[in-house]
Amino acid sequence: MQVEGPRGQAAPTAAKVLPCLVPERRLGAELGKSVVYQETNGETRVEIKESVRGQDIFIIQTIPRDVNTAVMELLIMAYALKTACARNIIGVIPYFPYSKQSKMRKRGSIVCKLLASMLAKAGLTHIITMDLHQKEIQGFFSFPVDNLRASPFLLQYIQEEIPNYRNAVIVAKSPDAAKRAQSYAERLRLGLAVIHGEAQCTELDMDDGRHSPPMVKNATVHPGLELPLMMAKEKPPITVVGDVGGRIAIIVDDIIDDVESFVAAAEILKERGAYKIYVMATHGILSAEAPRLIEESTIDEVVVTNTVPHEVQKLQCPKIKTVDISLILSEAIRRIHNGESMAYLFRNITVDD
């Protein structure tokens, strides 16, 4: 695995950066010497090649397509640093894996909570991440979590790179995304539209486990006990709440992975009169056939940050554009190492953002 370190400004004297993948060269911190590789049997081995006793260690780990291998690399490296007597071990994880599995499903588990416990047990003392899928995930951890926001960078892109953006409308592709879309609309002083209807399938519609164990046919009910029956959900015909006719439609979300729902939303917006369609998200996972589907769709441009590597997808689809967020991550690292306040990085951020 290639390991590279950041350069530029004066480096903190007591910090090391041990990246599992390549960070941007901004901090000027000295690169820690480590080796991460796979044994022939598939096991991950980590070797720390220098003394880290009493030092602040920042492990930079982006999450490629092989999520489980990346998680194991992070856990093993953190444990190796812990046993080597590092003072603080801070994980810089721009996209936190398993964040969609943060709610109880029928006969399932809250995997995100499990991962948080594993990271704490391995020795991590702090995490820097970006745009968690649910902000409440921070409560799973027994140590501090700094959940940075990518929205300032995406808002800047809209203002500088989208011609005539004043004629745009911010779109939530489902009611679940309405708060995020509202935040963008209010900051840009633009209109808001929400897609709602039978074509949408949200996380809230999934079973949450409260019907387990399953109901038994012909079950006896205690005499006199008559509980009200919960009515089944029935979604209305698909509707766009808000005017998009003759406007630029900008769909915003936190993750874009399987793009079918975004492609369907773009087709609906096109039918309603939108003449240009952008999709903006923090984490561009873009799995499976996502690049091909985007290229063949009515979407004009997909804008994501570099929290997740997607160079291959960009080669397959020129519609995919990248916004660099390394500046805020490097500043967070500098402030944590120097014991400075993080409030500057969260200025004008509200609870709903």
Rounded CA-CA distance 265/175 in Å is: 13
Give Rg (Cα) of the chain. 23
pTM summary value: 0.84
pLDDT at residue number 246: 95
Q: Specify the number of domains making up the chain.
A: 2
Please answer whether residues 110 and 139 qualify as being in contact, where contact means their C-beta atoms are separated by less than 8 angstroms. Answer: no
Write out the residue range of the structural domain in which residue 116 sits: 14-148
Residue 226, pLDDT score: 74
pLDDT tens series, the chain, 353 aa: 333 333 333 333 345 555 543 444 677 777 889 999 999 998 999 999 999 999 999 999 988 878 999 999 999 999 999 999 999 999 999 999 999 998 888 778 899 999 999 999 999 999 999 999 998 999 999 999 999 999 999 999 999 999 999 999 999 998 889 999 999 999 999 999 999 876 545 555 555 555 555 555 555 556 666 778 777 777 777 889 999 999 999 999 999 998 999 999 999 999 999 999 999 999 999 988 999 999 999 999 999 999 999 999 999 999 999 999 999 999 999 999 999 999 999 988 887 77
Query: Which residue's entry shows tokens 């698909």?
Result: 238
Same-domain status, 272 and 319: yes
User: Is 353 contained in some domain?
Assistant: no
Report pLDDT for 349.
Answer: 83
Residues 30 and 70 in one domain: yes
Q: Are 174 and 318 found together in one domain?
A: yes
Judgement on whether residues 185 and 142 belong to the same structural domain of the protein: no
Q: Cis peptide before 12, with omega less than 30 degrees from 0?
A: no
Q: Which two tokens stand for residue 47?
A: 């070797």
What CATH number does residue 75 fall under?
Answer: 3.40.50.2020
Is residue 332 in some structural domain? Answer: no
Residue 95: exposed, middle, or buried by beta-carbon count in 10 A (0-12, 13-18, 19+)?
A: buried
Is 3 a domain residue? Answer: no
Here the tokens at position 102 are 């943060």
Residue 330 resides in a domain: no
The verdict on 264 and 192 lying in the same domain is yes
Per-residue confidence (pLDDT) for residue 2, from 0 to 100 = 32
Per-residue pLDDT at 209? 53
Per-residue H/E/C for the chain: CCCCCCCCCCCCCCEEECCCCCCCCCCCCCECCEEEEECCCCCEEEEECCCCCCCEEEEECCCCCCHHHHHHHHHHHHHHHHHCCCCEEEEEECCCCCCCCCCCCCCCCCHHHHHHHHHHHHCCCEEEEECCCCHHHHHHCCCCEEEECCHHHHHHHHHHHCCCHHHEEEEECCHHHHHHHHHHHHHHCCEEEEEECCCCCCHHHCCCCCCCCCCCCCCCCCCCCCCCCCCCCCCCCCEEECCCCCCEEEEEEEEECCCHHHHHHHHHHHHCCCCEEEEEEEEECCCCCHHHHHHHCCCCEEEEEECCCCHHHHHHCCCEEEECCHHHHHHHHHHHHHCCCCHHHHCCCCCCC
* Residues 77 and 165 both lie in one domain: no
Token pair listed for 329: 């991550």
Residues 45 and 177 in one domain: no
**pLDDT at residue number 3:** 35
In a domain, 176, yes or no: yes
Q: Are 238 and 198 in contact (CB under 8 A)?
A: yes
Per-residue pLDDT at 7? 32
User: Residue holding tokens 């602040």?
Assistant: 56
Which of 111, 126, 148 corresponds to the end of one domain?
148
Same domain for 53 and 160 = no
**End residue of a domain, out of 148, 167, 186:** 148
Would you state the pLDDT for residue 237? 77
| 118 plus 174 within the same structural domain | no
Residue 205 lies in a domain: no
Shared domain check, 130 and 185: no
Q: Is residue 85 part of a domain?
A: yes
| Spatial distance between the Cα atoms of 272 and 310, rounded to a whole number of angstroms | 31
Distance CA 325, CA 14 (A): 25
- Within a domain: residue 207? no
Q: What is the pLDDT of residue 221?
A: 59
Looking at the structure, do residues 22 and 126 belong to the same domain, yes or no? yes
Whether residue 243 contacts residue 169, with contact meaning beta carbons closer than 8 Å, is answered with yes
Specify whether 157 is located in the same domain as 300: yes
Q: Tell me, what's the pLDDT at 1?
A: 31
